[in-house]
Structure formats: C-alpha cells, structure tokens
Amino acid sequence: MAEEPLINPCKRRNCTTEDEREPKKKRVDSEHQSINGSTICKLKKSPRLSTALFRDNCAIQHQQIHKLLKYACLGKGSRSAQPSWCHIQHQKRLQSVVIIVLQDLAQLHFYQFYLHFPYLRKLFKHRFSMPPPPSDFIAALIGAEKNGTSDIKKQEFRSLQANFSLKDPAETACLSGEIGETFKHDPIVLKYGTEQLGLTRYLLSQEEMRKNKYPLVGSPDSIDYVNSGCSREITDDSPLFGLDCEMCLTDKGSELTRISLVDASGSCIMDELVKPDNTIRDYMTRYSGITRKLLLPVKTKLKDVQQKLKSVLPPDAVLVGHSLDNDLRALQMIHTSVIDTALLFAREYGRKFRLKFLAQAVLGREIQTDDVMGHCPAEDARAALNLAQYFIQHGPKKVAQLYLHAVFRRINSPNGTLPAQEETLPTKQNGFLFPSVATPIKQRSEEPHSLLESLNSYGRKIIYMGRINGMKDSVSSKLLENIRCSSEEEVLKNACSLPQLASIGIVTFSTNNGYSRGPNEMHKRLRSKFSDMMTVFAGPFEKSFCLQSVRRVFRTCGPIKSLKVLSQTYQPYISVEYIILEAAQLAVETLDGAHIDGHCIKVQRLVTEQTLDCQLLLKAMEEDPENRDVIYVSGFTKSLTEEFLQRRFGQFSDIKAIFLPICPLNGKPAKYCFLKFRQSQSATAAIDHITGEGELRCRRALTACHFHQWLQTGEPCAPREQQQQVLPEEDALCDIMESLDSNVMQVYENLPENTLCLVLFPGANSSCGSVPGFGLMGIKASCG
C-alpha cells in the first residue's frame, strides 16, 4: 500500500479552508494501481524477445544481427527499425547488451558436444543458424571497417549504394573485391548458359513449378482451384503480364485483399480490392497497405477477380511475378506459363534476391520505400515485369556481369544498408544508452549507418575484449575500446565486470583447436551418429510377411529414407532408416511389442560406441527449452498445407506457430508437422488429445527447425568403423567445451537484469571447407 503523500500547508491568501476543500485523492506511484478501491502492486514491464525463428530453417544473416543490435542499443529514437525476424518488446527497459563470441566454433560443435553445454541449453531458448563468417566477423556485427576506415573507400561505396550497378561491370566486381573471380560458376550462367534466348527459355518447367509449390492440375492442395484457361502454345512473341497480390491473415490462413495486373508496356489494366470470405485477424498493413477502413465498402469477392482475370488474359499469356506461387495460391488459380523473377535471377544455394534489391540493382528503381505504408502491388508487378524484360533483352551473360551476388554482399555490409537520412535531432531518445537527462548531440549531416557510428555520434564506445592471440577479428577503430588479455582466465575476470565498464561489450573466448582435423570429417562423424539414432531394427517376422504392409505401419511414424530386409538372421528382420529423429523415436516407443502380420515384434536401435549415450541425449533434447513447447505429429496420408493444419487443429487455441517442412526426398510438403504452443502445459494436453484419438501419432519434439536442413547437407556419413575411432584430441575438445560453457554461465550470472545476451559460434572458412555458424540469445530476466 503506498503511503499518503505529505501535503504542504496552503500559502495562498484566497485559499479555501480545510472543510471547504474537496478531499484530495491519494497519490499512487507508477508501480501500483487502484482496482475497486484497493491499491495493488502492478507488475513491471520487462523487455522480452518475440522471434519468428520457428519457421523455415532459422537462418539469420550477419547483417540481420547487426540490425538487431542497433535497435537494441538505440531504439526508435535513432530511426532504427525493429528487425522482422526478432522483435524486442519494451526495448526502453534494456540495461545493456553483451555479445559472447566463441572463436573457432561452429554449429556442428554445438550438436557434436550437445551434452557438454548444459548452461547454454538452459539459459538460451532462442537459437538460429548463420552462414560461414566473413573475414571481418566482428566488424560485420557492429559496422566497423577492419583495419580502419578509408574516406575514399566510403565515398566510392556510397556511390555504389546510390547507383547499385556501375556502367562497367568490371568496376562493380573490383569494388566488391571480386575482380579475380570468373563468372563461369555464376548460378545464372550455370542455369541458362551465356547465349541470349527468347522468353520460352525462361518459363518454369513442370518440375520447377512442382518443386517450388506452384498450384498444378492434379495436386491435392489445388483441387478446388480455377484454371486460367490460357492453354495456347507459348512462343517467344507471347505477351507478358506482371502480376502481384496483397494478402491478409484470416481464420483460414492467407487470403487475397488486392490484385494488380500490368501489361507489357507497364500500364495497369487491373487493380482491384477484394474482401475475403473469412474473418480477418491481421490486415498485414505494414506490408499490404490494407486497412479495415479501406476494405469496409468493398463488395468484390475472390470469384469476381478470378472471372475478370480470365477474361483479361489472352490464351497465350505469360504471367511474370516475384515468388509468383504465393500470388497464384492467393488467387486460387492455376496458370502454367510463368516467369518467376525470384528464380530467374538465381543465387547460390537456392537462395533468392528480394524484389526491392533487384529493382535497385538492375533497374535503378526505388520501390517499397519506408515513407509509404505498405507495398504498392502495381509498382511491384511492374518491377517484376521489367526485370524479366531486361533479362530477356540482354541475356544471362549480361545479367551475370552485373555481379549481383557481390553487390548484394557489399551493400549489405553494416556501413551500406541504410540510405542517408535527413538531419534530425530527436526530442526524446528511448534507447537504453540514452540517459533521461538531456545529452548534447552533435550536429550531423546524415544519420549514421552503422551501430558503431551511431554510438560514436552520442559519445559512446563498444568494449571489445579477448586474449591477445585469440582476437582474430581485432578491429582497429578509434570508436572501439580494445581490452587485450594475456589469458582466458583474465578474459573471464574482465568479462564478469563488463557491465561496470560499458553498456555494450563484446567478449571473445578462443579455443585454437576447433578445426585441427577438418570440419568435413567432423560433420560426417556427427551425421553418422544421428543416422544410427534415426535407424531402427524390427522383427522377427514370418518368412512370408508382406513388406508393403510393414512399410505402411512404420511410415505412420514419419518419413522413411530406406527400408531393407536383413538377410543374415534366421528369421526376417528389417532395418528402417528415418529422415528425422522424432520418427525413429516414435517407432521405438509405439511399435515395440506391436503385433504385425500376426507376429509380436521388437523395435530397437543398434548400440554402437557413438550411440551409447543415446537415451541421455534424447532426454536432454526433449527437455531443451527450445523444444519444450513443440510437438511432432505424423501419420497423415496426404501432403499437408498450412490451411488444412489450421482446420485440423483448430480446437487448440494456444497454438503459436505451425512448421510444415519440405520433404528432402521429393521436394514436396511433408506428411508430418511441428506445432509450437505458447505454454508447455498446452503442448502436453495436445499430445494427450491427439494420441487419444488414435488416428495420428504424436510426441514431444527433439530437434529444432534449423537442425533438419543443416544435418542433411554436407558430406556423406562416415563408415561405421571410422566413426568408432575416437581421435586423441576428442577428449581435450570435450574439456574445452565444458570450460566454455562454464565461462558463459559465469559471465551471464554477473550481467545486470534486463541485459540482452548473444552467444555466437562464428563458423569458419578454411581450406578444409566452410561450415555455418550458430547463435543463441536471450534477455536475462528479473530474479524477483
């Protein structure tokens, strides 16, 4: 209960007497509030993370981490935007930011030595993959030029940022550090060659459309879709039409709210607002520009625009768009003659350029600008159309000579992402680095691009500490305070007192031992271990058993990579290798002791030196904070869609997200899924409910989203006899990992409450191969 504040005696001559005055209300401090006459304690708002890491493969670029750090430190006051992949709620209450870098380590180390990181697993729920590191990893995170900054280089770079594409492609390559490379291995050249061809060469094939989830005739998820009716044979003279749609989120998933169609000249021939059939839950205004007020008078429905589109398009129309599969699904239409600019301008490893970047880099055009609410579909459709026309007119060789991959990397370095902004002196700062007392701010001609420059403009520095021989990315900058230590013990001691030294700091712990035997070999051994864990042996069966019926039973647990009958046993046994770990564990848990074809079978794993700790590892993975709220569901008979899953599990109101993987065997949506709940109790209740129905199989998740794709890449598994050879340095590595885990825990314990902490495994680029990095993050919560 708050105390009654003292009231000073009335000093005014015309003041009323005590009896005439209205009784004063009790003053309640901001941490209390009155409800029904009672004063109760109000919970303080604490900063927290809200990430979108559950979907896809959770791969985060270094530039995205830089943006997160900038927003965490500076907030909206310095025009820093919330990163789309991670929102910081109540950012103003953050006290500090600490980045812990574990040099020489990569994602494979986290999973190879998973049981040796108990504190990391306990403290950090949010995790993500990173690409292999640039040569200046630390500089990329904070926005510093390694070995100092050059005014000439900055000026040239900002010129490149303004124009995106220089007149001479060789200049672009030189400026981006790629002059020594040949473009013969460019993804565009590898896909299309160097000859200039007609538009028919760039149409998506049936296989490409299937792989990229386009709606097709006969597809289970396109049964009710309308065919565009454009069935005439396509020639190089067929007309091009640019198409773009905007969607909102309804009870049934994404639904169309606006469609724009432009002809080959760029004229908009169709621009319609569409009212969805189902209740709208999110207008997605930030991206679509659609608001409730805008849709209120609209009467046009999906079937109306379908009919109009069919009447507008000629029989040999070619639709052009960026990730056009999404637009056609929103339209619920099938059209098989398409050019997809997201696939046309091919990138390494199947990645895609954003339309905004391509428009700037190729056409020199600004679209999707920040000063306009939402995207303009006509503008986006016109940009995609013009990109396709440019590609057809100039050919793949000319496009490859734009060196888009090099330009993209260069302009997305921390000093090149944001355009110059008008001079502004904010009246109120909400970043934690700004005290409530007014701080003098230097006049500046443009808003700083990087975190480091922004901090410098407010007279702040970043502390960077590590062992003298371990600071591989030592950044020479007057804006950075380097603290070099003589030993790891000294690094730890200084790191524990870091909050008293600065509001943002970087701590580097080094091993100098991570890749002595090569990352590929380590990856092969790790894959071999999990391959054994994902393989089960079942039997005995009758000699005349039906293999197909057995396959159907085991397939209910999850996708099967291989199934074979063992020939060296008296009675028939089978070996089943699954694609994911959850499927193998479900088979052991639910099929062991089951009666199949009249025989009671035993389902078990092979015990090797690699899998002796299998049960301990599985238990740790199931109890991992990253997996506690997630369940795995299998046993579906058809490929899944998100809309189907939303209907199927609509009774679970606490579902936070749905992860629908792509099957690596055929590139189609898988017949299993992961459901993420807001609370662990809800996940437990869902498991009981689904299992009780008997139709599907279900259990706790064991693996994270980023784990699936990463484990399936790289070299083949090592032979079993090789993986059982324990190399002499392996014991030493175990000790190193446990020591690093302990160091992180000690630093974390000494952090003040409400500190954002990131732990980064940078990955590596070496002659032995490149390995991706790994990150963990969290905000230290109040102990009270």
pLDDT of residue 430: 42
Task: Assess whether 141 and 83 both reside in one domain.
Answer: yes
In a domain, 381, yes or no: yes
In the predicted structure, residue 134 carries a pLDDT above the cut 70: yes
Residues 6+ apart with CB under 8 A from 494: 465, 483, 485
Q: Are 593 and 470 in a shared domain? A: no
Closest CA to 251 of 646, 644, 640: 646
pLDDT given for residue 145 in this prediction: 52
162 pLDDT more than 70 = no
* pLDDT on residue 77: 64
**What pLDDT is stored for residue 35 in this prediction?**
39
Residue 38 forms part of a structural domain: no
Highest average pLDDT, of 182-191, 326-335, 341-350, 370-379, comes from 326-335
Identify the CATH number of the domain in which residue 600 sits: 3.30.70.330
Q: Which of 506, 670, 647, 649 is nearest to 582 (CA)?
A: 670
Mean pLDDT of 347-359: 85
664 and 556 in one domain?
no
> Which residues, in sequence order, are CB contacts of 611 under 8 Å at separation 6+?
529, 532, 533, 605
Residue 410 lies in a domain: no
* Lowest mean pLDDT segment, chosen from 66-70, 417-421, 704-708: 417-421
Lowest mean pLDDT among 202-211, 471-480, 657-666, 730-739: 471-480
Tokens standing for 115? 């049981």
Domain end among 550, 585, 604 = 604
CA 224 to chain centre: 32
pTM of structure: 0.61
Residue 173 lies in a domain: no
pLDDT (average), residues 191-202: 91
Cβ proximity of 696 and 644 under 8 Å = no
Determine the pLDDT at residue 441: 33
Average pLDDT value for the chain: 79
Q: State the helix-helix crossing angle for 488-496 and 729-749, rounded to 10 degrees.
A: 20
Within-domain flag for 547 = yes
If 0-12 CB within 10 Å is exposed, 13-18 middle and 19+ buried, where does residue 388 land?
A: buried
What's the DSSP call for residue 222? G
End of a domain among 570, 604, 638? Answer: 604
Segment 393-421 mean pLDDT: 69
* Listed residue (383, 356, 382) closest to 287, CA to CA: 356
Of 55, 48, 64, 50, the C-alpha closest to 773 is 64
User: CATH code at 349?
Assistant: 3.30.420.10
Give the per-residue pLDDT at 781: 83
State the total domains in the chain.
4
Residue 766 has a pLDDT of 65
**Which band of pLDDT confidence, cut at 50, 70 and 90, is reported for residue 30?**
very low
In this structure, the answer to whether residues 255 and 276 fall within a common structural domain is yes
- pLDDT: which is higher, 449 or 80: 80
Report percent pLDDT > 70 for the chain.
74
Of residues 343, 309, 307, 67, the one with CA closest to residue 204: 343
User: Confidence class of residue 281 from pLDDT cuts 50, 70 and 90?
Assistant: confident
Same domain, 286 and 210: yes
Among the listed ranges 141-155, 250-264, 414-428, 633-647, which one has the minimum average pLDDT value? 414-428
Residue 208 has pLDDT above 50, yes or no: yes
Residue 34 domain flag:
no
In-domain check, residue 174: no
Same domain assignment for residues 206 and 344: yes
Q: Are residues 208 and 357 in the same domain?
A: yes
In terms of pLDDT, which residue wins out, 182 or 368? 368
Q: Which pLDDT score is estimated for 20? A: 42
User: Cα–Cα–Cα angle for 203, 207, 210, nearest 5°?
Assistant: 100
Higher-confidence residue of 6 and 512: namely 512
Same domain, 270 and 362: yes
Distances (CA, A) of 252 to 89, 244, 646, 650: 28, 21, 7, 10
Would you say the C-alpha torsion 448, 94, 773, 349 has a positive or negative sign? Answer: negative
Query: Do 527 and 510 fall within a single domain?
Result: no
Predicted local confidence at residue 507, as pLDDT: 94
pLDDT at 540 over 90: yes
For residue 383, pLDDT over 50 is answered with yes
Of 273, 238, 233, 277, the closest CA to residue 254 belongs to 277
d(CA 667, CA 555): 18
Question: Which residue did the predictor score with more confidence, 227 or 143?
Answer: 227
- Peptide bond between residue 540 and the one before it cis (omega within 30 degrees of 0): yes
Is pLDDT at 164 greater than 70 in this prediction?
no
**The pLDDT value given to residue 706:** 72
In a domain, 413, yes or no: no
| Burial class of residue 670, CB neighbours in 10 A (0-12, 13-18, 19+) | buried
Please tell me the distance from the alpha carbon of residue 563 to that of residue 545, in angstroms, as a whole number: 14
The answer to whether residues 528 and 504 belong to one domain is no
* Predicted local distance difference test score (pLDDT) of residue 583: 96
Which residues form the domain of 627? 614-723
H/E stretch holding 246: strand 240-250
Assign 745 a pLDDT band (cuts: 50, 70, 90).
very high
pLDDT of 438 over the 50 cut = no
Last residue of a domain, one of 367, 395, 423: 395
DSSP 8-state secondary structure symbol assigned to residue 82? P
Same domain, 466 and 355: no
pLDDT at 520: 67
What does the pLDDT read at residue 171?
A: 44
Q: What are the pLDDT digits (tens) for 605-627?
A: 988 888 889 999 999 999 999 89
What would the mean pLDDT of 425-449 be, rounded to a whole number?
A: 40
Residues 225 and 291 occupy one common structural domain: yes
The alpha carbon of residue 236 and the mean position of all alpha carbons in its chain are separated, in whole angstroms, by 39
Q: How far apart are CA 710 and CA 770, in angstroms?
A: 13
User: What is the predicted pLDDT for the residue at 730?
Assistant: 66
Alpha-helix runs per DSSP H in 281-427: 285-288, 292-295, 302-312, 324-331, 341-344, 355-358, 377-400, 404-411
Identity (one letter) of the amino acid at 430?
A: N
Whole-Å CA distances, 372 to 376, 449, 695: 9, 21, 49
**Predicted confidence (pLDDT) per residue in 47-91, tens digit:** 888 776 665 556 788 888 988 998 898 887 666 778 878 889 888
